[in-house]
Amino acid sequence: MGYLGDSLLTAFELILGLDREVRIAVWTSLYTSSCAIVIAALFGVPAGLWLGLKRFHGRQLLVALLNTMMALPTVVVGLVLFGLFSRQGPLGPLGLLFTPLAMIAGQTVLAAPIVANLVLAAVTGADSRIINTALTLGASRLQAAIKLLSEVRFGVMAAVIADFGRVIAEVGVAMMLGGNIRNSTRTMTTAIALETSKGEFAFGLALGIILLSVALVVNLFLNVLQQR
Amino acid sequence: MQPVITLNDILVTQGDNFKLSVERLALQPRRIYALTGPNGAGKSTLLRVMALLTAPQTGSIEFAGDEPHELARQRQKVTLVEQSPYLFKGSVEDNLSYGLRLRGIDNRERSMRIGATLAIVGLQGFEQRQAKQLSGGESQRVALARALVLKPELLLLDEPTANIDSNSLEGYETLLKGLPEFGVTVVFSTHDPSQSRRLGEEVLRLENGHLINGIHRDSKDSVSNKWSDLYGAEL
């Protein structure tokens, strides 16, 4: 069958046989990315909403900053947080470096500006009558903002899901802050990089197939949301 | 009688552009006011000022019985229905429930009020219909029902019949005429002089952002007894 065919076969055997290392890498990826995305949404959604509704001096600068943060290279985020979490760094005593918590922190930093920006886009693109309609029905400013968020909820959910797709596929932060430790901080992406370099192509392929499947499910879900 | 709303020395500008100036306007309870004037005269701006959506640069707005600056409380007394109203996603019932929930009205009363109000606007049984799938005329009536279900003291309507076909016009006007007897003061803007004569007990005319003194009429038609379903013996 040749090298590629044999590797593909082995990859499917690893997946269908629920190989322990594959399972742990998948679980670590899903766990850290899910935690990061929830925390990022907790910060990003209100920030995007606030920025979308408020008009103040310096708003454009803040939006430009947010756009810049969207394009942050993952290794740069990894580098900065590595400096903070390393033993000599200000957060060194917490002992977070090379733990899943450090990975979650890094992925949150990556994800939050993206969620905020996509929510900002959803809010500014929403029907301008929503807020006034809510106000004239007796809502406070906060209640009207919540109503607006509810009206664009599918856009917001799509933003969060798209962001999850990005975070689970990133490798820089997971590698630099997690350290790619077997059975602890090894994610699908870091495992693919490591195992392939060690010559375990089939193992990397198995994780690659799972990662693609996750991306497919995320995109299918996204399509359903965008049609609503 | 104490006015429902009193506007004093109101000035609205947008950037360097003058939009509206009202020295004094006091609306008496239970009356219908027609707001007329050419395009750009400031009708929508005046309605939005009264709805507390546009803050004037100077002047004061007072509601009967309220201290000035009690904005949240005042907002619950006045409702504006825009010319092209926005209906929230979800069902007609979701739309009518929104303001009632904000006022802490319980499920039973909400359901009773919604049913009665939909019957008044001729949309009986529309509770579960999706708001976004309604026709233009139906949407307009749902928006009116969404305002009426709150029993506002002051109901502001921005060109309410602009999107209503001629067959439904008479019914809609009869509906509006019935409101003052149930304690509602109505202000509606219109381009149609005959409509302002038919409905308006007072005509407020705006020209170039300035309010011309109102014209008083005295005509009231009979009221549909459907109103008592919604307003009961309260009034």
Domain boundaries, chain B: 5-87+153-231
Cα–Cα dist B140/B123, whole Å: 11
Predicted TM-score (pTM) of this structure: 0.81
The per-residue pLDDT for A78 is: 92
- CATH second-level architecture of B5-87+153-231? 3-Layer(aba) Sandwich (3.40)
Mean pLDDT of B156-180: 85
- CB proximity A134 to B under 8 Å: yes
The per-residue pLDDT for B62 is: 87
Mean pLDDT of B28-35: 93
- CB proximity A136 to B under 8 Å: yes
Band of pLDDT at residue B223, cut at 50, 70 and 90: very low
Decide: helix, strand or coil at residue A98: coil
Nearest to B230 by CA among B132, B130, B57, B96: B96
Tally Cβ neighbours within 10 Å of residue A79.
14
Residue B15 exposure: Cα atoms within 13 Å on the Cβ side: 1
- Lowest-pLDDT range, A52-61, A142-151, B8-17, B219-228? B219-228
Band of pLDDT at residue B235, cut at 50, 70 and 90: very low
The proportion of chain B whose per-residue pLDDT surpasses 70, expressed as a percent, equals: 87
- CB proximity B53 to A under 8 Å: yes
Residue B51 has pLDDT above 60, yes or no: yes
Instruction: Tell me which residues of chain A have a pLDDT lower than 70.
Output: 1, 226, 228
Quick check: A129 and B78 CB within 8 A?
no
Give CA angle at B111 (B110, B112), nearest 5°: 90
Contacts of B80 in chain A (CB under 8 A): 132, 136
Hey, which residues 145-174 in chain A have their CB within 8 Å of chain B?
A: 147, 150-151
Residue B228 has pLDDT above 80, yes or no: no
Hey, which residues 69-108 in chain A have their CB within 8 Å of chain B?
A: none
Nearest to B42 by CA among B20, B26, B25: B20
Q: Which domains does chain A have, with CATH numbers?
A: 2-226 (1.10.3720.10)
**Do strands B78-81 and B154-157 pair parallel, antiparallel, or not at all (unpaired)?**
parallel
Cα–Cα dist A94/A101, whole Å: 11
Q: What amino acid is encoded at A160 in this protein?
A: V
Quick check: A127 and B86 CB within 8 A?
yes
Cα–Cα dist A75/A81, whole Å: 10
Rounded to the nearest angstrom, the minimum Cα separation between B91 and chain A is 13
Tally Cβ neighbours within 10 Å of residue B67.
9
- CB proximity A2 to B under 8 Å: no
- pLDDT, mean over chain B: 85
- CB proximity B108 to A under 8 Å: no
- For helices A20-53 and A153-169, the axis angle rounded to 10 degrees is 140
The per-residue pLDDT for B234 is: 43
Backbone angles phi, psi at B154, to 5 degrees: -130, 120
Residue B175 has pLDDT above 90, yes or no: no
Residue B44 has pLDDT above 70, yes or no: yes
The per-residue pLDDT for B229 is: 57
Q: What is the pLDDT of residues B115-146, one digit of tens each?
A: 999 998 889 999 999 999 998 888 988 999 99
The per-residue pLDDT for A37 is: 96
The per-residue pLDDT for A13 is: 87
Residue with the two structure tokens 């002047």: B59
Cα–Cα dist B161/B6, whole Å: 26
User: Bigger pLDDT: B57 or A225?
Assistant: B57
- CB proximity B134 to A under 8 Å: no
Contacts of A129 in chain B (CB under 8 A): 82, 84-86
**Do strands B202-207 and B154-157 pair parallel, antiparallel, or not at all (unpaired)?**
unpaired
- CB proximity A200 to B under 8 Å: no
Q: What is the ipTM of this complex?
A: 0.85
Cα–Cα dist B90/B146, whole Å: 14
- CB proximity A205 to B under 8 Å: no
Q: Are B51 and B80 in contact (CB under 8 A)?
A: yes
The per-residue pLDDT for A105 is: 95
- CB proximity B147 to A under 8 Å: yes
Quick check: A133 and B78 CB within 8 A?
no
Among the residues of chain B, which ranges form H helices?
Answer: 43-50, 71-75, 92-102, 107-120, 136-148, 166-178, 193-199, 227-231
- CB proximity B34 to A under 8 Å: no
Residue B215 has pLDDT above 70, yes or no: no
**Distant-in-sequence, close-in-space partners of A41: CB < 8 Å, separation ≥ 6:** A115, A160
- Tokens standing for residue A154: 């599918």
Rounded to the nearest angstrom, the minimum Cα separation between A151 and chain B is 6
Transcribe A112-148 into DSSP letters.
HHHHHHHHHHHHHTS-THHHHHHHHTT--HHHHHHHH
Band of pLDDT at residue B76, cut at 50, 70 and 90: confident
Cα–Cα dist A187/A175, whole Å: 9
Contacts of A138 in chain B (CB under 8 A): 75-76, 79, 99, 102-103, 150
Q: Are B95 and B136 in contact (CB under 8 A)?
A: no
Q: Are A100 and A183 in contact (CB under 8 A)?
A: no
Mean pLDDT of B195-201: 85
- Lowest-pLDDT range, A6-10, A113-117, B199-203, B223-227? B223-227
When CB atoms are compared, the residue of A127, A138, A147 closest to B75 is A138
Q: Are B214 and B192 in contact (CB under 8 A)?
A: no
The per-residue pLDDT for B1 is: 75
Cα–Cα dist B211/B47, whole Å: 13
Q: What is the pLDDT of residues B61-71, one digit of tens each?
A: 888 766 666 67
Rounded to the nearest angstrom, the minimum Cα separation between A118 and chain B is 21
Quick check: A147 and B98 CB within 8 A?
yes
